Amino acid sequence: SGDSGSGESHAVATASSSNKMSTIDVAKKVGPAVVGITSTIQGQMSLFGGYATSQSEGSGIILSADGYIVTNNHVIGGASAVTVTLNTGTEYSAQIIGADSETDLAVIKIEPTETLTVATLGDSSAVEVGETAIAIGNPMGLEFLGSVTEGIVSAVNRSIEVDGRTMNVIQTDAAINSGNSGGALVNSSGEVIGINSVKVSYEGVEGMGFAIPIS
């Protein structure tokens, strides 16, 4: 009976980690809550009359069933039109609700005609160095919609300077590339712990991505 008793206490000790999911299950749970965002930016008037336009692509995270989505301000900054692509391939035009350059955050909204998958937000203040970090987004744009990469949390409360402002961020070695901006950094419970925002892209630097803590 002594053996069974120690077995029970061991089961209790590890019960707290039972909500951890496989990367496959995390991707299935959170993937549909991450969207592609295409911003159309109206440029200067061209020599031939009319305005030249350009497009930039990024990612976003669905916050509510009625269509509120969070992304990075730099994904939608200066946009004259914003389009959201769900992982189902459905496209919606989006309205910019609010944007803030200091925190590099923005909220946009679509009017969905289908049921949306809403992300579960975690507590980024409880994130620990060494825990699993899964990035979901669209590296290099919508051609790679819904890409999943995995690594660990390399550091928390890392201060970095971006465009002249200091940001406190989560550092990860999960692969993050430009189109990942605004996408989700997720823990092994399938909770969003950060919004992927910055990649250090100096020559010879690999595996340093940064996310705005979700809290």
Contact between 123 and 158 under an 8 Å Cβ cutoff? The reply is no
d(CA 178, CA 185): 14
Q: Is 59 a catalytic residue?
A: no
Catalytic residue among 39, 59, 74, 147: 74
Q: Is 10 among the residues known to form the active site?
A: no
Over the range 126-140, which residues count as b (16 or more CB within 10 Å of their CB) and which as e? ebeeeebbbbbbbbe
- Distance between CA 164 and CA 61 in Å, rounded? 26
The number of beta carbons lying within 10 Å of the beta carbon of residue 183 is 33
The catalytically annotated residue of 124, 181, 188, 197 is: 181
Buried b (16+ CB within 10 A) or exposed e, 185-194: bbbbbbbbbb
- State the Cα–Cα distance between residues 172 and 79, nearest whole angstrom: 29
Active-site pick, 39, 56, 59, 104: 104
Which active-site residues does the annotation give? 74, 104, 181
